[in-house]
Amino acid sequence: MLPEPNRLRRHSDFSSTVKRGRRSGRRDVVVHAFDHATTDELIRVGGPRFGLVVSKAVGPAVIRHRVARRLRHICIGLVDRVPEGTDIVIRALPGAATAGSSELEQQIQLLLQRMNLLESVSESV
């Protein structure tokens, strides 16, 4: 489970990240990232916050929960590697249902690296 300070909870936070942030996608996931340091608003104190969107298009409830657990585990590993004050929404696409955990992790790391929110990934995707 992600610690409370690292979770996006409010609908307005999700909407703000998706509407105002940058977006990058791969076959199984789309990552939306909004860095509060790039705006004139007050910078939120604390680490990055992550939110997940796993819609019914991914599959039935059992599959959606499995995908969400995998994504949550990936986010836990990224907390120390993403800059503070960054909100990230990870949206699972239907292909995430059949993708392995390592494949999802590689895709997310690559997307965050493309947005300059993560240091280089040693493995190529």
Domains in the chain and their CATH numbers?
Answer: 4-114 (3.30.230.10)
With CA atoms as reference, report the closest residue to 80 among 103, 112, 34. 112
| pTM flag (> 0.95) | no
- pLDDT 10s per residue in the chain (125 long)? 888 889 999 999 999 999 999 999 999 999 999 988 766 555 556 789 999 999 999 999 999 999 999 999 999 999 999 998 899 999 999 999 999 999 999 999 999 999 999 865 555 55
Angle between helices 61-78 and 101-114 (to 10 degrees): 50
